Amino acid sequence: METRYGFRLQRSGTNRILALVLALTLAITAVAPASAQEPAAEPGNETPLYLPSILDNKCYQLRTLSRYGVQLYGATGEGTILHNDLVASGASFIRNEISWAGAEPTNTTPDKYNWAGIDSVAAVVGQGCYNMVMTILGNPLWAAPDVEGVIPAENLPEFAEFMGALVERYDGDGVDDAPGSPQILYFELYNEPDAGPAGSMQRWGEHGKEYAAMLKAIYPAMKAANPKVNVVFGGIAYDFFTDTDPENPADNGPFVRKFLDDVLANGAGPYFDIMNYHFYPLFGVNWTDDYLMDGPSLVKKTDAIRAVLQKYGVNKPIIITEMGWHNNAMYPHGSDVLQVRMVVQLYAQSIVAGIPMSTWWPLSDIGGAYLQDSGLVTYADEDTAPVRKPAYTVFQVLTRELANVRFVKRIVEKEWTNNVVYEFYDVANQRTIYVAWTNPTDPTNIWGSKQRPYVDTTTADNIRLDGTSATVYDAFWQVKGTVVDGNDGRTDGRFQIAINGDPVFIVARK
């Protein structure tokens, strides 16, 4: 499990932060909904020989891309154990990973690649027209000394050959396609490549220059195979850095702070289409001076990454290929209540941050040695059926009720403390939706404990919002009540409600 799912990080420090979780394995997502909705075939390039296979392809158009995706591992599609949970979740895209070594264990040419493993990972794309972010992992030993690390320059043409053939197989143009001509438009180059030493292997973290050279080598081959393909930067952890605590090196993590700078300083800007990072709320405190007002701080971390890009004149969409929180009693405190809260908070903040695709990591608990049960459903295998958690229902609510919202503004009134209120506009249903919650009031206890839960539902905060009336829903979209202007003693186009640590959706009429 450890090798398959990456590594689990542990640290012990004066702040008692124990198990960290940053990294796991997978990959990405992407933006550019427009390209996902356009036919992949290029007019003028079809020939009668393969035109019929395009017309037969039921997924000639992929399903509409939304912000909501989940992580799967291994084979996908009808008959796999998580398939029903995937379909009912409302996710529009899936992140999954493949191994270069699996297709090309010994150096050969694309006509002799073994595609079986990759085709099984991609099965759901052709069956259900799902979008997929395919994470590339698993360097063959003949090509590179580390399975997720630097590819020596002399072997970059081999990697470009592989990536070109992979994109060609999943571009749906009828040429050298996988059976059924499924389309995959997002390819992520490695998982958390900003790790330096990671267990027994080295990743790219201390080799930003080589990562840039890799992108430069593969980008033309990928675009030649499919001009509409999106080359996605490997989701960087960008937290738990090697230099976090100079006084206590043993407490530091494996991620190299300057990796992104190094990649961009070496001219990689034109050789990827989408930036990508991971967000685990444990590290939110790293990105804000005012945790009590910013909550998980996803917006702030996005701003920080965007600022690094801008320093090099690079302007790209940013996506998140991993974010999550667990519901088991592992430190930092996990519970169903807290996981539910995180699903709402992280997606709300990702919309605010302008993130077009965010991946809940993972759909199903990893199990085994992996300590945090961050899945929306429980662990599942041939003998164990998955059970949907409360957080799963909340994910469904978001995919259904907040499918088409745009961020309007954050509402701040100076007398308010410890709360976050975002205003969204639901374009399809022409309604205003506020998402609101209070943050922990005790800065010494932001991660909570069994005795002192992080989610404070005992202290209410009264807020006033624009609207003549409103319906208040809990995170499960159960009606909590209705309110009207005048409930605050004034008929002034505003109503008052009390919020607490459990997020609510407030659908208002103005």
How many residues bind Ca ion, per CB under 5 A?
14
Cβ proximity to Ca ion, 394 vs 470, nearer residue: 470
Question: Of 15, 457, 492, 498, which lies in the binding site for Ca ion, with binding defined by CB under 5 A?
Answer: 492
One of 54, 488, 500, 502 touching Ca ion (CB under 5 A):
488
Nearer to Ca ion, 413 or 492 (CB): 492
The reply on whether position 171 binds Ca ion by CB under 5 A is yes
Q: Please, how many CA atoms are within 13 Å of residue 154, restricted to the half-sphere of its CB?
A: 3
Q: Which residue(s) pair with 380 in the sheet?
A: none
Residue nearer to Ca ion on the CB measure, 119 or 173: 173
Q: Helices in 93-207 by DSSP H: which ranges?
A: 100-103, 116-121, 123-128, 156-169
Kindly state the smallest distance separating residue 174's Cβ from Ca ion, in Å.
7
What 3-state DSSP class applies to 346?
A: helix
Give the span between the Cα atoms of 355 and 277, in whole angstroms: 11
What sign results for the dihedral spanned by CA atoms 214, 216, 218, 222? positive
Q: 3-state class of 222 per DSSP?
A: helix
3-state secondary structure (DSSP) of residue 72: coil
Decide: is 490 part of the binding site for Ca ion (CB under 5 A): yes
> Of 39 and 267, which CB lies nearer to Ca ion in the complex structure?
39
H or E stretch covering 135: strand 131-137
Site membership for Ca ion, residue 175 (CB under 5 A):
yes
Instruction: Examine residue 510 and tell whether it contacts Ca ion (CB under 5 A).
Output: no
Residue in the structure block whose two tokens are 């004066």: 14
Which residues have a Cβ under 8 Å from the Cβ of 303 and sit 6 or more positions away? Answer: 353
CB of 470 vs Ca ion, minimal distance in Å? 11
Site for Ca ion in 12-71 (CB under 5 A): none
Quote the distance between the C-alpha of residue 141 and its chain's center. Answer: 29
From the CB of 225, what's the least distance to Ca ion, in Å? 5
Which residue of 97, 177, 273, 294 would you call a contact of Ca ion, by CB under 5 A? 177
Per-residue binding string, Ca ion, 122-161, x by CB under 5 A, is ------------------------------------x---
Under 8 Å CB-to-CB from 19, ≥6 apart: which residues? 8, 9, 10, 330, 331, 371, 372
Closer residue to Ca ion (CB): 4 or 490: 490
- Which of residues 80 and 468 has its CB atom nearest to Ca ion in the complex? 468
CA distance 334 to 3: 25
| Contact track, Ca ion, 207-226, x by CB under 5 A | ------------------x-
Q: Would you tell me which residues interact with Ca ion (CB under 5 A)?
A: 107, 158, 168, 171, 173, 175-177, 225, 485, 488, 490, 492, 494
